[in-house]
Chain A
Amino acid sequence: MSLLEVEQLNLRHGLLEAVRDFTLGIAEGETVALVGANGAGKTTLLRAIAGAHRPSAGTISFDGANITRVPAYRRVQMGIALVPEGRRLFPALTVEENLLVAAQRRRPGRWNVEAVIEAFPMLERLRGQRAATLSGGEQQAAAIGRALITNPRLLLLDEVSLGLAPLAVEDVYRSLATVIAEGSTIVLVEQDLTRAAAVADRVVCMLEGRIVLQGAGSELTREQITEAYFGLRRSREAPR
């Protein structure tokens, strides 16, 4: 059975339909990469799964339970954690406070403040610093740590490499590799197609709120993804 089941989901920003009749199942332990151009609805979809965006139609089920109307803070306790786009640390709180504030309702599991700092060693000397003073890469590490500390069963990562120096991206993905290797279920949005295909079991390509292509990361060619990414296939095939 799937850990996450999204069925016929419709998400709107006012009059704009960001995600349309979207259906996707994610199995426990799977790593899924969502790719697609800006405005394809990736971020909105992740926010809806995390509970920060209320769907206009459709259902979201997690571990067999319908969570469509469950508020975001309760979903954290059920085991869904989102690393939001732009990192969104609490700027005036220290790194450690950012972790602690999320740790308060944590599920039992291996992640705690010490484990996060072990996984992201760069945070050790920054523990007592205000989050606003951190570099982009450091903030991203803290944001991922803040999500991990809740011991999620499903980790949602929204553009973790956005705005980071290439070296910082390497750092972040190196740390993520251990999380992925542990068998966590992960949905990540990533603009770097090569990287997305490398870390993910499955790549899902979105265009204008729909899935236009999906397949195993190793099977899809770069050309296929690029075509889907820019909507080139749509002219030849009927949208699903």
Chain B
Amino acid sequence: MTWVNDVIQGIMLGGFYGMLACGLALMFGLMRIINLAHGDIAVLGAYLIYVVLEHWNTSPFVAILPVLPVMLLLGYLLQRLLLERSLRSGLLVPLLTTFGLSIVIQNLLQQGFSPDVRSLGAQAGSVATASWQITSQLSIPAIGALTLGVAIVIFGALQLFLSRTHQGRQMRATAQDPDTAELVGINSKAVYARATAIAVAIAAIGGMFLAIRSDFYPYSGPTYLIFAFEAVVIGGLGGSLWATLLGGIVLGVAQTIGGQINPEYPVLAGHIVFLLVLLSPRGGLVNLRRASA
């Protein structure tokens, strides 16, 4: 029964990783940019929620509402002012740019908020601690179920956006062939900026759950970047969005089972699964690389 419990906990943890990986996958799928600052952007989102909560006594789930438009704007500007220029010089330059951005964000957060460790768990109220006891060995924490639920909603909404709306269609067309997209009247730079805005906003939602589930400090970003990156790779680079969520879930399950075997093993188990997937001939659970090529 503990195994069943582990798998269920792992799936819920996977929802969290999927949420963090979502924006990373979106940016990689569309522009081939690996955003090394993605984890720090999530942490920045957590700090912005923290700031809102200092002035407004409410729950993080409410405090994120004013933060989301700010993050959308930041993402838009990030693309327009920084990444767009970097992209002109090839694919390696954006990698360096986001690496630098990661350091800048970490230092600014340290400057502005001190290196103290914080958490938003207390402000989240009973959601952070409540759980449903199913059997003596199987309990489902409310925050885990909520994380997974929100992750599914985010992926579903993004999928609907991409498949049903004009802007989503433009994004898919641009991802497949940016040169031809321009020739049918699509402003690819505007499409890229919109996508980065969405990716950054989703990262902030991930940051909120990060801050409720555990604690955070200015240098938390890179750890979560690695988990998000592993989720994207396990799901299959350039694959479908749902594959990224699936990748997150595989990583989450690997980590909880690893933790069951030995409390020191969760992260190691995740890395091992990641490496096994990378070494496997297909390289990714759902390999759609050819479809996107």
Contacts and interface: CB of A to CB of B under 8 A. Distances in A.
Interface in B228-270: none
Given A73-B187, A101-B170, A93 B182 contact: no
Contact of A93 (B173, B179, B186): B173
A97 to B, nearest CB: 6
Interface in A80-111: 81-82, 84, 88, 90-93, 97-98, 100-102, 104-106
B126 interface: no
B169 A102 contact: no
A82 B179 CA distance: 12
B291 interface: yes
B209 to A, nearest CB: 31
Nearest to B288: A92
Contacts of A97: 169, 172-173
B180 interface: yes
B169 A82 contact: no
B183 interface: yes
B185 A150 contact: yes
Interface residues of B, number: 19
A93 B164 CA distance: 12
B177 A73 contact: no
A89 to B, nearest CB: 8
A50 interface: yes
Contacts of A84: 180, 183
What DSSP secondary structure best describes chain B's contact surface? helix
A101 B169 contact: yes
Nearest to A150: B185
Contact of A90 (B173, B182, B185, B187): B173
Contacts of A71: 182, 187
A139 to B, nearest CB: 13
B166 interface: yes
B214 interface: no
B159 interface: no
Given A88-B177, A92-B292, A93-B176, A100 B183 contact: no
Given A90-B172, A92-B172, A102 B182 contact: no
Contacts of A105: 185-186
Interface in B167-205: 169-170, 172-173, 176-177, 179-188
A50 B185 contact: no
B184 A52 contact: no
A76 interface: yes
A106 B177 CA distance: 20
A50 B180 CA distance: 11
Contact of B185 (A52, A77, A92, A98): A77
A72 interface: yes
Contacts of B176: 90-93
A146 interface: yes
A51 B188 CA distance: 14
A102 B172 contact: no
A204 to B, nearest CB: 22
Interface of B: 166, 169-170, 172-173, 176-177, 179-188, 291-292
7 contacts: A71-B187, A76-B185, A81-B183, A90-B176, A90-B177, A92-B176, A147-B184
